[in-house]
Chains A and B, each alone.
Chain A
Amino acid sequence: MKKTSRRDFLKLAGATGAGLLACGAGSALANEGLQVNNEELGMLYDATKCVGCKACMSACKRVNHDYGSLSYEKAKFDEDGLWDAPSDLSGSTRTLIKLFKESEQRWSYVKYSCMHCQKPSCVSVCPVSAMTKEKITGIVDYNKNTCIGCRYCQIACPYNIPKFQWEKAVPQIVKCDLCKSTNLREKGISACAEVCPAGAIKFGKRKDLLDEAHQRLKDAPDKYVQHVYGEHEGGGTNHLYLASMPFNKLGLPEIKPEAPAEFSEKIQHTIYKGFIAPVALYSTLCFIAVKNMKKHESHDDDHKKGDK
């Protein structure tokens, strides 16, 4: 009697364990590859052309004036908060130009903003669909009216892009949305690309940008690192980079070609596919538990009789 139940338990434990193991092993299998959509909108930033004027930053702040006050981003020497001197992307800064200086001769500007991934981690992890990727434009957008502020998107993003307004009682996540509802809608181009005086930011469809980038690499092989950052990183991004220095030196992390979201979703989907495993688990456990309960009750009754 007891033995059967133990066997049941072990069987069950074995089955659950095996299922979980299988999904662990499944993840090691080759990536089925995700469909890259080159029709999506994006930007090509050429660090060699950038002059560091930060016109893109101020244009970005102007266009997105509804978000955030600038005062708390003050520089250390600016006690009155008159200056906006961000040292990193933040709850009020969606794009930022930094200067990386290796030596007096070797330096490069670099622009940070949302990479608009082909398979965005932030969209994959958002529990309430506050982060979405537009089907046609590929813009990764944020909806503050849905967001619960869990900040899982920040954990998930390999580029550390979504920022949170830590100082506010009513905070939100802040990131580039390619001027989706502002400059892009009015003028068909993102504000930063529109104002760039040096032509360092090119706005367009991903396939055109990629062609352009590879053409530039071919035309000036000595000038560039022979790599388009974002072409394959993390499943590909719509924000592409060209530079004369190794990208990891410019603060762009080295990321494998597989999208992190592919890996995690595969495991999550294997466990919860069609909700079969949880339902099977529940019914098996119910079966065992009810059987055990009955057994126990009859066992009690036997004893009662015995007592009498």
Chain B
Amino acid sequence: MGHSEEYQKLEGKIFTKSFFILLSVVLLGFYFVGVRYVKGIGAVSNMSDGYPWGIWITYDVATGTAIACGGYAVAILVYIRNRMQYHPMIRSAILTSMFGYGLAGFSVMVDLGRPWNAYNFFIPSKWQANSAMFEVALCVMAYSTVLILEFLPAILTSIEQSKWDRMNAIRNWLHPRFAPDKKTMEDKLEMVRLGALWLKPRLNKVLIFFIVLGITLPTMHQSSLGSLLLIASTKLHPLWHTGFLPLLFLLNCIFIGYSIAILESIISSYSFKRPFEIEELSGLASLIPFVTVIWLSVVIGDLAHRNQIAAALKGDFYSGWFMTEFVLVAGGSLILFVKKCRRSARWLFISASMIVLGGALYRFNVYLIGFNPGQGWKYFPSFAEIMITVGIVALEILGYKVFVALFPVLPNMDLHGAHKKKGHAKKHKGEQSKPLPQSEAAAH
């Protein structure tokens, strides 16, 4: 997969104004994390014995990992459906997934009451295969590792090409007495470079097997995230409690994944002032309705089968949330059926946002809004609880911004995006992976 020149680093400064704004949000969040470890979960959150899972599980884990499914959804498209023209999008999708999952793992450690016992997940005698959470935990840990491996080529390329400007700058900044000898440092950095050179081709050879693992694992744990609530048969509202929860969660993460890949591309094109990748985006957008239509039909079919249609249309609290979720997903998909809208960055943005919101609301409905442990229990997240979640999201964005500047992640503008420059001098392999007309593709 010699596609390294397909990607480029983002030019520009890292320490911008938005960097420091995000950083302060992150620090505020981490202050509350500190409070949580000193004073207990009750001191920062509004969770209770009736609502033992608050927004940390609902948003950071259940919804956050679905939003982080861009890498998964794009990988299916590229490697399984063999649509290599989407290859340029995969690195940024994987980077977002890496942060999404890594920080979901982090927030689990904040949420767990006894995190020091988490090593029990690695002790076979403690395994409890009946537990959907056991499956989720192992898969998520494995997938996070796989994501790092999938992203490694970008880091290795960067090491290979690095002139170590920053390292030298730090060395020069240090007091001469503490600074390492220039020669030794250069030798050591050369070793690192050689190591990267040695590793990269070897990694490239086996990478496809990790990529496929990176497709299998989310298929497993995203459906198991739905299975988690199967047992709450008396607490979860019948609008959402169904044996199809695993299937619905799996489909849900796929359409969220494609929509988030679109949003991410539009937002980063906009904020980094790069051209929109309309060609790729409209192709991606045409896939979403297929998945949402299956999802919506399973939802309706299942409600009809369980005689819950009336409950969905009742107009009460639960039906209101259900309808909102349903209308957002269905409405967003309807827009995507129109070819003109698929080619407009604005409409793509609107519809993808609707689908992400609707899909995320579905997960909120299952985990929190439709969850009723009985009379007398109420839950609304506390300020500190929200700030920890916001801090984690800010850290994701911050990490993304830093990584796209340090490593070649974004599609190379000379090859992609700026489609007018057809006869560009740097004609390269990546070029053929542009959308081919069906007939031409079949001829090969």
> Closest chain B residue to A297 by CB distance?
B1
Determine the interface band of chain A, counting residues with CB < 8 A from chain B.
35 or more
Q: Are B127 and A260 in contact (CB under 8 A)?
A: no
Tell me which residues across on chain A come within 8 A of B224, comparing CB atoms: 268
Complex-state Cα separation, A307 to B428, whole angstroms: 10
> Closest chain B residue to A254 by CB distance?
B234
Tell me which residues across on chain A come within 8 A of B111, comparing CB atoms: 150
Q: Are A128 and B42 in contact (CB under 8 A)?
A: no
Binds A, one of B132-140, B328-336, B418-426: B132-140
Determine the interface band of chain B, counting residues with CB < 8 A from chain A.
35 or more
* B115 touches A (CB below 8 Å): yes
Q: Are A148 and B114 in contact (CB under 8 A)?
A: yes
Report A82 CB to chain B, min CB distance, Å. Answer: 21
> Closest chain B residue to A156 by CB distance?
B231
Report B286 CB to chain A, min CB distance, Å. Answer: 14
* B128 interface neighbour in A17, A126, A296, Cβ under 8 Å: A126
> Closest chain A residue to B48 by CB distance?
A166
Binds A, one of B10-18, B74-82, B152-160, B163-171: B74-82
Binds A, one of B184-192, B242-250, B383-391, B395-403: B242-250
267-293 of chain A: CB within 8 A of chain B: 267-269, 271-272, 278, 281-282, 285-286, 288-290, 292-293
Q: Are A303 and B432 in contact (CB under 8 A)?
A: yes
A-B pairs with beta carbons under 8 Å apart, 27 shown? A1-B441, A2-B438, A2-B442, A3-B442, A20-B223, A23-B243, A126-B131, A128-B126, A128-B128, A146-B120, A147-B113, A148-B114, A149-B113, A150-B113, A155-B229, A158-B233, A162-B49, A165-B40, A166-B42, A166-B45, A172-B113, A263-B231, A263-B243, A278-B220, A281-B219, A286-B212, A290-B208
Tell me which residues across on chain B come within 8 A of A289, comparing CB atoms: 79-80, 208, 211-212, 215
**A170-190 interface code vs B (CB 8 A; 1 in, 0 out):** 111100000000000000000
Determine the main DSSP class of A at the interface with B: helix
Complex-state Cα separation, A76 to B235, whole angstroms: 29
* A127 interface neighbour in B134, B215, B231, B432, Cβ under 8 Å: B134
Q: Are A154 and B49 in contact (CB under 8 A)?
A: yes
* A282 interface neighbour in B208, B216, B228, B246, Cβ under 8 Å: B216
* B131 interface neighbour in A24, A124, A256, Cβ under 8 Å: A124
Q: Are B80 and A9 in contact (CB under 8 A)?
A: yes
> Closest chain B residue to A296 by CB distance?
B84
* A160 touches B (CB below 8 Å): yes
99-133 of chain A: CB within 8 A of chain B: 121, 124-130
* A71 touches B (CB below 8 Å): no
Q: Are A125 and B112 in contact (CB under 8 A)?
A: no
Report A267 CB to chain B, min CB distance, Å. Answer: 6
Tell me which residues across on chain A come within 8 A of B444, comparing CB atoms: 1, 299, 302
Q: List chain A positions with a Cβ less than 8 A from chain B.
A: 1-3, 5-6, 9, 12, 16-17, 20-21, 23-25, 27-28, 88-90, 121, 124-130, 144-152, 154-156, 158, 160, 162-173, 253, 255-256, 260-261, 263-265, 267-269, 271-272, 278, 281-282, 285-286, 288-290, 292-293, 295-296, 299-300, 302-304, 307
* B41 touches A (CB below 8 Å): yes
Tell me which residues across on chain B come within 8 A of A282, comparing CB atoms: 212-213, 216
Complex-state Cα separation, A293 to B3, whole angstroms: 12
* B53 touches A (CB below 8 Å): yes
Tell me which residues across on chain A come within 8 A of B234, comparing CB atoms: 158, 253, 255, 260
* Given A260-B231, A260-B233, A302-B444, A268 contacting B132 (CB threshold 8 A): yes
Q: Are B230 and A267 in contact (CB under 8 A)?
A: yes
Report A98 CB to chain B, min CB distance, Å. Answer: 12
Complex-state Cα separation, A22 to B228, whole angstroms: 19
Complex-state Cα separation, A145 to B215, whole angstroms: 35
Report A120 CB to chain B, min CB distance, Å. Answer: 11
Tell me which residues across on chain A come within 8 A of B115, comparing CB atoms: 148-149
